[in-house]
Amino acid sequence: MRITLLNGNPEGGEPGFDHYLSTLATQLETDGHTVTHLPLRDLDADFCTGCWSCWVKTPGLCLFKDDSHLVCREVIHSDFVLFASPVLMGYLSAVLKKFMDKIIPLLHPYLVEDQGEAHHQYRYAPEDYPLGGLLLEKTPGTDEEDIEIISAIHARTSLNMKSRNAFTMLTESPVKEVANAINRL
């Protein structure tokens, strides 16, 4: 399976979270997967301005020439994407959220009814869209309600991105448990 880890840790040098993801990547490679680990803080990307250029002027590509093109390419060519972030102020890090917004070019602007709701059409074949998972690291002040809210919002985002959230896990779980959850997909 081809796996992409989107590391939303905004702070470099904190060995805990980054080390956890590196260890997870190594474990997944040992289990026979191809893993791309992207520390998003090291990539250049402008915030989505909602200009619709990725749908109208440059279909499938953000108008801004930044690293969001790389992230979109990795996401659509993956079988599984792990969105990973410390919980900051009750939500995902801004750097992860920014890149989540920047993968909207993977969809068409046209809407269709899906499960009784309006959702964007596929840009690519349905089988090209990866499953997703969410890995969170609790920070001081994080409570269970924060985790439930983040997980619920991520599940809705996954649905909008033509995927589903396979799981939400915490870095409190051993790396092997997270790897096993991915291996079972």
For the stretch 96-116, pLDDT in tens is 999 999 999 999 999 988 888
Cα separation values, 163 from 64, 132, 133, Å: 25, 7, 10
Range in 14-23, 84-93, 132-141 with the lowest mean pLDDT = 14-23
What range does the domain containing 138 cover?
A: 2-183
Question: What pLDDT score does 148 carry?
Answer: 97
pLDDT of 117 higher than 90: no
Residue 93 contacts residue 16 (beta carbons within 8 Å): no
Question: Taken in order 148, 89, 44, 42, is the CA torsion positive or negative?
Answer: negative
CATH number at residue 81: 3.40.50.360
Total number of domains constituting the chain:
1
- CA angle, 28 as apex, 25 and 31 as ends, to 5°? 155
pLDDT of 10 higher than 80: yes
The model carries a pTM of 0.95
State percent of the chain over pLDDT 90: 83
